[in-house]
Amino acid sequence: MKIDIITLFPNMLKGFFDESILKRAISKGLLEVNLHNLRDYSLDKHKRVDDYAFGGGAGMVIQIEPVDNCLTELKKKTNYDEIIYTAPDGEMLTQDLANELSLKENICILCGHYKGVDERIRQHLITREISIGEYVLSGGELAAGVIADSVVRLIPGVLNDEQSALSDSFQDGLIAPPVYTRPADYKGWKVPDVLLSGHEANIEQWRYNQSLERTEKRKR
């Protein structure tokens, strides 16, 4: 999968892709990530990419021209399956949506900033708007990171043990059961006996019951 991210703050994301599972996906050749600085696509001599809102009001708005220039350049090389704009009022990111996106080959993510982007960008230049929750972040960079992480870990081969993505919470509509590791007794806080019993069927049953209980609790 290739993910192109258009941002005013590429440094916010650089470190993110240089760690852990995303880094491994890149080094295994399963993921390519390119960060594009929107400012590089400004034709303005001061490299401005934003301006005041027509009609007044507080906050700056990202202009359509640099975004269009950038996307036009990128589209010369890549045929995108989705061009995503990160927005608090977008479609909510869920495990189902992450699964759907993990099947795509080429994704572009445009990170918003300031008061947002010129509405015509949303109308004409992107294919999808995704929110990571009903709260407002200062910019779309964290949202882009969250989207990329949730999607990339689902690409076959990215995780060492593919089971661990299949048994993630939400993958089967259930929250994952609790897990424990050594020591079995820490300051009197004990691991449930069943997990130490070696009885596989009982352990499976216990895990399933715990999943059901947790899923039920979350609904309340």
Residue 132 engages ligand ADE in binding (rule: CB under 6 A): yes
What DSSP character marks residue 3?
A: E
Task: List the alpha helices (DSSP H) in 28-85.
Answer: 64-77
Contact window for ligand ADE (CB under 6 A) among 26-34, 97-105, 119-127, 133-141 = 133-141
Min separation Cβ 139 and ligand ADE, Å: 6
Residue 87 engages ligand ADE in binding (rule: CB under 6 A): yes
Nearer to ligand ADE, 70 or 147 (CB): 147
Residue 5 engages ligand ADE in binding (rule: CB under 6 A): no
Residue 116 engages ligand ADE in binding (rule: CB under 6 A): no
Question: Sheet of 2-7: strands edge to edge?
Answer: 32-37, 2-7, 106-110, 82-92, 128-131
Min separation Cβ 38 and ligand ADE, Å: 15
Residue 112 engages ligand ADE in binding (rule: CB under 6 A): yes
Contact window for ligand ADE (CB under 6 A) among 5-13, 16-24, 128-136, 167-175 = 128-136
- Tokens of residue 158, six digits: 């990215």
DSSP-derived secondary structure for 102-165? HT-SEEEEEPPBTT-B-HHHHHHT-SEEEESSSS--SBSHHHHHHHHHHHHTTSTTSSSSTHHH
Q: Where along the sequence are the contacts to ligand ADE (CB under 6 A)? A: 86-88, 112, 131-133, 135-137, 140, 143
